[in-house]
Structure 1
Amino acid sequence: MGGMESFMYRRDNELIDVAEAFARKRDGIDDTTKVFLIKLRQLIFTPLENRGFNNININYNQNFLHEFIKKYQSILNNEIDRYHKLKADDIIQKVVTLFWFRFKVQEPIAKYTWFNYRDKIDPSRMEGIWDDDDTDNIVVDIFHFPLIADKSTNQIYTPLNSFINIKDIIIQFTSY
């Protein structure tokens, strides 16, 4: 990834690291410093989420597709054309800004977890329609989107959206 987004992302993370080190290495206890770290991260990544990888304006009257989007648009369009007609540039922008910027706006910072095809379900983290005595035969079959949560508090921002396979019968479930 190149361009302003990459530069800002690196510098923003450096500034956040310095601010966190400052809070750790300077004596004192106050709520302002704790809030500062959260607000700094949110203020930095919210504009990146809102405008990151958008079209590039030249002289406020010409719009050009962002180079990152342009690079991957044709690759994704070729793959999508095999299945359905969608706008690849919109998909790339929304996915990249979600995974790179939006998670850092959350407090606490969200993490995502992908489950692999044929992973056994985990009844402590997933819910669905199944008999608790028969969970050994249930596996993840297809999923649309990862589980997004704060692992330290188990707060779920977006549940896993998936299908499970029970002896070749597929049903939809979500995790919590």
Structure 2
Amino acid sequence: MNVIQTEIPDVLIIEPKVFGDARGFFYESFNQRAFEEAVGSKVDFVQDNHSRSSKGVLRGLHYQVQQAQGKLVRAVRGAVFDVAVDIRKSSATFGKWVGVELSEDNHRQLWVPPGFAHGFLVLSDSADFLYKTTNYYAPAHERCILWNDASLDIAWPDVGQAPALSAKDSAGLSMKQAEFFE
């Protein structure tokens, strides 16, 4: 696999080796040993999630203040613009974000370590989005930062319509109000 550094060193783009011909393709979507070598530490995934969303759906920016989750994410159908925001107060990149297009065509994955808020916008007619997490979902500890917080100035792509948000995501907090990691 090919590992691409982003502007935030802890967030990595993972590109698997894809073997394709006229019949289709094959790739190893996850290898524990290769992944741990890429991120430089032991990582245990405990939960796999799958969401399907239609064009213009924006999910996020989510995180858990306790039972923080690292996420390895990918789009297996369609395309999304995926965003990770550093919310570790002690980090040199606190308040910075990285955005990457993940699609069924580019097979890219994004490693979003614990300490980051995460969200995505669906670019295609629909998208199936998969993510492996390093901790279990804990709704009592889940928080949401407003997707369009002016202090973050995330450059969400224009999909020709206003983002479709859940009630939870519409009520996200600003960066000034949010809880962070030390």
- Give TM-score scaled by structure 1 length: 0.29
Decide which structure has the larger Cα Rg and report it.
1
Bigger share in strand: 2
Return the structure number with greater relative CO, CA threshold 8 A, min gap 6.
2
What's the TM-score, normalizing by structure 2? 0.28
Higher helix share: 1
